[in-house]
Structure 1
Amino acid sequence: MVTKDEAVVSAAEFVKSGPYREQAESVVMLPDTAVEFPYGWTVCFDLKEHIETGDFTKKPFSPVVVVPHDGSPAHMAPTFPPTEQYMEMRASGNWPPNKGNRHAGA
């Protein structure tokens, strides 16, 4: 199991070396937002420019990082479904939706 502190560090490493590597110095992790789920932790982050100016155009598009308990790589939470539902779906094995039914709705 990953601890809260480990989740925050893992999330920061992921964000700063991946999707926000060009803005790594602007990334501000928000450890107080960390929430534990059966699947793993969610940790939010923001960018200094957004914090300092309040300008919503400087806010990260998807500010939630998922750090799985099983040691899988950290990743961005999808913008849909809501984070809590996504984490429940991951824990129950129901992600991705329609897994094994590629022709659903077709």
Structure 2
Amino acid sequence: MTAQEALTAAREFLARVYPKAPPTIVLRPDWVREHDWAWEVVFDSQEHLDSGDFAQALFTRVVVVPKNGHRVDFMPTVFDVEMQQYYLATGRRTRFEAEH
């Protein structure tokens, strides 16, 4: 899977979640990052970008696009940065999951 394919998958996912504007979803190729297990696709709302008003920002602004074709979804919001990196590298939500 390429970065462009990940961006397209994230765009299609977000179009289903936010079918009508506002919010107006903004995705940019330079906001896509590759990890071992998945692509991390950051997005924002045009309303937030235009105003700078955090109240116009969406609650979560990261979509995870697994490279293996599994379901595209939002990054779990309960994860700290270390867990986000672990999840993107392995596809596992906890280190416990790897042990069992």
For residues 62 and 82 of structure 2, the distance between their equivalents in structure 1, rounded to whole angstroms, comes to 11
For residues 13 and 63 of structure 2, the distance between their equivalents in structure 1, rounded to whole angstroms, comes to 8
In structure 2, relative to structure 1, the CA distance for the partners of 1:89 and 1:44 (3 Å cut) is closer
In structure 2, relative to structure 1, the CA distance for the partners of 1:10 and 1:92 (3 Å cut) is closer
Query: Please, what is the CA RMSD of the aligned residues?
Result: 2.4
Q: Does 1:52 align with 2:50?
A: yes
Identity between Structure 1 and Structure 2 (%): 33
Structure 1 stretches of 5 or more lacking a match?
Answer: 100-106
TM-score normalized with structure 2 length: 0.81
Q: Does 1:6 align with 2:5?
A: yes
Q: State the Cα deviation string for residues 29-76 of structure 1 (Å, max 9, x = none).
A: 022121111111000111111111111001011000000000012100
Which one of 60, 63, 66 corresponds to residue 64 of structure 2?
66
Residue 8 of structure 1 aligns to which amino acid in structure 2?
L
For residues 85 and 59 of structure 1, the distance between their equivalents in structure 2, rounded to whole angstroms, comes to 23
For residues 24 and 87 of structure 1, the distance between their equivalents in structure 2, rounded to whole angstroms, comes to 30
For residues 68 and 40 of structure 1, the distance between their equivalents in structure 2, rounded to whole angstroms, comes to 4
**Number of residue pairs the alignment of both structures matches:** 98
| Ranges of 4+ aligned residues in structure 1 off by more than 3 Å | 89-94, 96-99
For residues 24 and 9 of structure 1, the distance between their equivalents in structure 2, rounded to whole angstroms, comes to 20
Q: Does 1:85 align with 2:83?
A: yes
In structure 2, relative to structure 1, the CA distance for the partners of 1:49 and 1:39 (3 Å cut) is same
